[in-house]
Structure 1
Amino acid sequence: MTESTDMPSTSLELGLIGNCQIGALIDTDGRIVWCCLPRFDGDPFFSRLMDTTDRGYFAIELQDQVESRQYYQRNTAILCTELTDKYGGRIRITDFCPRFRLYDRTFRPEIVVRRVKCLSGTPVIRIRLRPTTAYGEREPETTHGSHHIRYLGQGRVTRLTTDASITHVLQESPIVLEGELNFALGPDESVTESVNAMCQRFETQTTTYWQEWARGLAIPFEWQNAVIRAATTLKLSTFEDTGAVIAAMTTSVPEAADTQRNWDYRYCWLRDAYFVVHALNRLGATATMENYLNYIINLVVGAAEHELQPLYGIGGETRIEEYEVSGLAGYRGMGPVRVGNAAYHQVQHDVYGAVVLAANQAFFDERLARPGDEALFRRLTILGEQAARLFDKPDAGIWEYRGRARVHTYSSIMCWAACDRLARIAAHLGLDEDATRWRQQADRMHDVICREAWSESRQAFTESFGGDTMDASLLLMHELDFLAADDPRFVSTVGAIEAELRRGDHLFRYAAADDFGDPENAFNICTFWYIDALWAIGRRDEARRLFENMLECRNAQGLLSEDLDTISHELWGNFPQTYSMVGLINSALHLSRSWEEAV
């Protein structure tokens, strides 16, 4: 492994392609720099994003390149990169993962398709396909035939089928591009038709699928393109086989430079559940929402009377052991690179509210094929009992503190929300005795939280019972119906949070030192929560300005990561972050003028 001397610097100026089975990240020069196979949490076949060596990518390089332009085909997950050389030669690389209806089901193979076309001049290209295996420990062995190359590693064979010269690809030698070349990278299966015909057909059908999907979205009048891109990204983060929605495509992109805050986010966090379901519901993406609800309900059934975990694998796996790998140097060399996430065995009481809030949709949404019934309600009451028992007990909190436990106010409110929604569900089902019991339970918890979490000196609800510091998650008290927007306690809490956690136009999660020292970057979802809170309390011009500012902080393809440098506005943290994209969607739907007002 040799250090790169001429590779472009690593950044999160990346586009995402995928098909709800796999995903790939592509930089502005058209290099695939991250792609895990055979699913989101698999071994990265392309790992350059997490390395400093000249490998782990799939590049279609243009000789003497001087310019690049990247964009999505309208309302699709098909990414185009146009490269221009100093002589006026220009090429277009079209990247996508096939997804469309076939034989009455969705066809979503573990395939990445790349099509490169000459647009003008006599461009000269070079193909560099340098995969890795075992998290960078090795590079796959290769065999080849007349139209394919097979990559063997980690008990898996991946095949590249192409109409380009196999010799030129293997030797990375120059190719004068006169028409179009096609590359299909996927399982070790023979292609029984022309690769050009197959890739063209896949592109046409995938375009149709995404444009029809986008057409069915319920979007706001304002910021339509931003919402469509965020919604498409949310869809791409769904592992359709089980319905799970991952937190991000990546592992170990640091929350801030050289901080060791490097975590694997390729799993499903229950804390995201309510917000994801809420966004999908408001978008009208009911099939995706129902599939995700089924994933969550399956976890409830599996948990029985045991405590819920904060996160699960995308197949519902309960053990996600965390370890560091030595084969990858990390993002810009800022290791460690971690696989798995030890937070799965933490105690986080907010998960009970997150699950009940998400499942609540099933009882009130008449569009769903399988509405909630008394049997599901009885299963959820097990979670309600846990919430009532644990709401005033210490936990690691929503932000997963690894070195301390407190009675976190947000966790307590989410436990209250579990009991409050169970009361509403019971009333909806006509179970009067249950409705009364859960309403009394929720009211008791509400009284305790208001007494123990309120600080007279700060005139605000604080991060923990008896504490004196602020936590951005408490901006959600109105969203969760714990307090009305015009309740003076909510208004003053918003003021206390902005005084302590606002940096410029962005918000930190918290300001106090944690296991890794003082926080350095803003947390994007918290800024969206702040925007929504300002809107709720009547500071609407300011909310709109801050929202527009957040749109400017997206990368060129409209995507956001987890964190943001408040000075440079550089994106940090795992990418693209589902939480951030959901925050954008929900804020846009809150703030936008209605269609009736605007048209």
Structure 2
Amino acid sequence: MNELELGAIGNCRISALVDRRGRINWCCWPRLDSDPVFCDLLSGADSPEADDRRGLYEIALDGMVEAEQSYVSNTAILRTRLADAAGNAIEITDFVPRFNQFGRIFRPTMIVRQVRPVSGTPRITIRIRPAFEYGAAGPQLTHGSNHVRYVGPDETLRLTTNAPVAYVLDERPFQLAEPISLILGPDESLTRPVVETARMFEEQTESYWRNWVRYLYLPLEWQEAVIRAAITLKLCVFEETGAIIAAMTTSIPESPNSQRNWDYRFCWLRDAFFVVRALNRLGVVDIMEEYLRYLNNVTALADGGHLQPVYGIALEARLTERIVETLPGYRGMGPVRVGNQAHEHLQHDVYGDVVLAATQSFFDHRPLRRPGEADFDRLEKMGERAFRLHNEPDAGMWELRYRARVHTSSSLMCWAACDRLAKIAGHLGKTDRATYWRDRADEIHERICTEAWNEERQTFTESFGGTDIDASLLLMAEVGFVKADDPRFVKTVEAIEGHLLRDRHLMRYHAPDDFGAPDAAFNICTFWYVEALDMMGRREEAREIFEEMLRCRNGLGLLSEDYVPRTGELWGNFPQTYSLVGIINCAMRLSRSWGEVL
């Protein structure tokens, strides 16, 4: 059973998570990385009853015994149907408005909820309890005939509704005789009646998402899974700057009581590259353009110098990590962390991630802004850093906090930076620069083959001169460092299978780290394994494991970061962009071709 039975809604400015009971239990306001005004997800409560907890937004059906959820097809609009034992039922429609208006995208800081009776005479209770300062403070309330203002230390939220305001304020049960609309947004009056506004926003938001999906290049098989993954990845883009967050949440543990609780509401350059590449495969170039705008700002700030692995969504460099004492944590399993110490790490693979993210734009004629000489010069500075650091110790892509080694995955991505720069230079007709970067790529390649290959164990290892292995070695074929039929890669995959595979799910590594030995599989690693199997010609195995991974998704088609095979539960921050990337990449690789049926 998955506790993370949550649906995600959003508009590339804010997002919210809605559970099967119709409760919004997570929403950061007014940005994807802000203080969560709804934080019940981290309240630590096992009981679904509301009691006196802060940080939730609930539309409860009295005596509810049945709940089901689904998205409106090809949209980010979520519908929740609740029923009681007597057959009384309601339907809740949740969305965050997003549509074209006045030649631009309208994406307000606003959540729209519409509730309608489906059958019988249902009685509902509306509980709106925003919290501030990570659950430490509640709001002051003022109200009028059709609105309630929730005044916090720095934010004021305004609810406009045609529901009886007295019932909302008192959280009093009442009979739902006709549809009601609730618009929670900034402290501004609506320019149209609330019902009309909600209906119009829903129609235009639905139209926006359907048209966005319409232009995706989809595989023949697994289309619904790919569409849901693509929409959710887009919800993780902070469109104002082009940043891409790793997940919408903080501090959902990687496994029960593991203390591996991290804040993922920031832009990791590595994760963002994988998102951009996956969406490029679907023909979504606008997100690549938006992210490159963000990346250009990041690299300009670095000016050829040190790049952090992670930045804030508005280019914040300092993401000081602290523990919040006011929230017990997911299922009571704290700590709750805000900020991420990874901003202090040396992770040398980021230079390759930057170059790889930008490479397609030099070859693709679709972007509105084609890269030029200045863009190539900026990438060359990243390449110089990659070459200089390819054999220097770092924290590695798994962000080990108290151990530095020359990690093979970091050196691999430094090679990829030089390799892609050689290809870009050749495409631009810069023959001398192409030769320059090819020589550097070849030098790194030789060093990795010498230093990371363990002849005794017959495998590449996770660090130079090491003996351990990790799942990142699967990327060697993916980025073109070796061919999939190279005997060294085949032997490495076999070693990974022998040490890291747990019931068809792959661990990142098996050696103990700062928090002991990990016991959860890392979903993206399993997807990397699926891709490696296919590249090696083991397609049927790959398809079987991919289908197994699809069965691990929650009921709405979403995945978190981790999966614990022994319990069959999803764990880790949610929804996780890495995991959704894996769905898209594997579906595109494994699907039968359109030509087989047309």
Q: Give TM-score, length-normalised by structure 1.
A: 0.98
Shift of 1:307: 0.7
Structure 2 partner of 1:66: 65
Shift of 1:288: 1.7
- The one-letter code matched in structure 1 to 2:14 is I
- The one-letter code matched in structure 2 to 1:551 is L
Counterparts of 2:417 and 2:286, CA distance in 1? 24
Shift of 1:86: 1.4
- Counterpart check, 1:30 vs 2:22: yes
Where do 1:334-373 residues align within 5 Å?
334-373=333-372
Structure 2 partner of 1:12: 4
Q: Does the 8 Å CA contact 1:10/1:332 hold for their aligned counterparts? A: no
How many residue pairs match? The answer is: 591
* CA distances 1:277-303 after superposition (whole Å, capped 9, x unpaired): 211111111112211122112211121
Cα-Cα RMSD: 1.0
Structure 1 partner of 2:468: 469
Structure 2 partner of 1:88: 87
Counterparts of 1:423 and 1:481, CA distance in 2? 14
Counterparts of 2:503 and 2:138, CA distance in 1? 45
Q: Does the 8 Å CA contact 1:125/1:174 hold for their aligned counterparts? A: yes
Counterparts of 2:127 and 2:591, CA distance in 1? 45
Shift of 1:10: 9.5
Counterparts of 2:316 and 2:482, CA distance in 1? 36
Counterparts of 2:330 and 2:218, CA distance in 1? 35
Structure 2 partner of 1:5: none
Structure 1 partner of 2:48: none
- The one-letter code matched in structure 1 to 2:98 is R
Where do 1:375-394 residues align within 5 Å?
375-394=374-393
* CA distances 1:465-509 after superposition (whole Å, capped 9, x unpaired): 011111101101011110011111111111111111000110000
Counterparts of 2:389 and 2:465, CA distance in 1? 17
- The one-letter code matched in structure 1 to 2:444 is M
**1:48 aligns with one of 26, 40, 45:** 40
Q: Does the 8 Å CA contact 1:45/1:56 hold for their aligned counterparts? A: yes
Q: Does the 8 Å CA contact 2:2/2:570 hold for their aligned counterparts? A: no
SS in 2 for 1:136: coil
Counterparts of 2:136 and 2:274, CA distance in 1? 38
SS in 1 for 2:113: strand
Structure 2 partner of 1:142: 141
* CA distances 1:507-566 after superposition (whole Å, capped 9, x unpaired): 000000000000010000000000000000011100000000000000000000000011
Q: Does the 8 Å CA contact 1:128/1:169 hold for their aligned counterparts? A: yes
Counterparts of 1:569 and 1:447, CA distance in 2? 42
* CA distances 1:544-598 after superposition (whole Å, capped 9, x unpaired): 0000000000000000000001122200000000010011101110000111113
Q: Does the 8 Å CA contact 2:141/2:148 hold for their aligned counterparts? A: yes
Shift of 1:52: 2.9
Q: Give TM-score, length-normalised by structure 2.
A: 0.98
Shift of 1:395: 0.2
Q: Does the 8 Å CA contact 2:148/2:158 hold for their aligned counterparts? A: yes
* CA distances 1:417-466 after superposition (whole Å, capped 9, x unpaired): 11111111111111111111111111011001100000011111100001
Q: Does the 8 Å CA contact 1:394/1:405 hold for their aligned counterparts? A: yes
Shift of 1:373: 1.9
Where do 1:168-187 residues align within 5 Å?
168-187=167-186
Counterparts of 1:225 and 1:10, CA distance in 2? 20
SS in 1 for 2:105: strand
The ranges of structure 1 where at least 4 consecutive aligned residues each deviate by more than 6 angstroms after the TM superposition are none
Shift of 1:238: 0.6
SS in 1 for 2:477: coil
- The one-letter code matched in structure 2 to 1:204 is E
- The one-letter code matched in structure 1 to 2:414 is C
How many percent identity over aligned positions?
Answer: 59
Structure 2 partner of 1:444: 443
Structure 2 partner of 1:320: 319
Go from structure 1 to structure 2 and tell me whether the alpha carbon gap of 1:473 and 1:354 turns closer, same or farther (over 3 Å shift). same
Where do 1:253-272 residues align within 5 Å?
253-272=252-271
Shift of 1:274: 2.7
Structure 2 partner of 1:292: 291
Counterparts of 1:470 and 1:387, CA distance in 2? 23
Structure 2 partner of 1:484: 483
Shift of 1:223: 0.2
Q: Does the 8 Å CA contact 1:384/1:422 hold for their aligned counterparts? A: yes
Counterparts of 2:578 and 2:250, CA distance in 1? 15
Counterparts of 1:324 and 1:598, CA distance in 2? 55
Counterparts of 1:374 and 1:528, CA distance in 2? 36
SS in 2 for 1:158: strand
Counterparts of 1:417 and 1:68, CA distance in 2? 48
- The one-letter code matched in structure 2 to 1:237 is C
Where do 1:124-143 residues align within 5 Å?
124-143=123-142
Listed as ranges, the gaps of 5+ residues in structure 1 are 1-8
